[in-house]
Amino acid sequence: MSDTKPPELLDETKQFATYIAMVVRNAMEDFHCEHLTDEQMMQLNPIVRNAICTALHAFNHYERDEQAQEFVDFQFRMIPRYWEVPELLPDYMKLWKREG
């Protein structure tokens, strides 16, 4: 059993992760309706939230924590070359272009 205490998770990181997870979940709505049951989404949602929270925490601690560096570096190495470059979501673009 390790005596090291778990990394501190700030409320602001949890809130930001929840916000990002909501954007991801809303972007997946059509996919959800076509391919996933509500029960499957209930299982997927916390996985996505926790992964985003972990990614944010590790990224925010990269400069001062060896474990965070190891985690982030590994994740960056795992990104497939064939992945498309991220783009802004169409719904957001509609809001952005809307005249105020």
Tell me how far apart the alpha carbons of residues 70 and 65 are, in angstroms, rounded to a whole number: 9
Residue with the larger pLDDT of the pair 48 and 7: 48
Query: What residues does each domain of the chain span?
Result: 11-97
Residue with the larger pLDDT of the pair 99 and 46: 46
Q: Is the pLDDT of residue 100 over 80?
A: no
Give alpha helix (H) positions in 28-89.
29-35, 38-60, 66-78
- pTM reported for the whole predicted model: 0.88
- For the segment 1-10, the average pLDDT, to the nearest whole number, is 76
Helix axes 38-60, 66-78, angle to 10 degrees: 130
**Cα 96 to Cα 12, 51, 87, distances in angstroms:** 25, 28, 14
What lies within 8 Å, CB to CB, of 16 at 6+ separation is 56
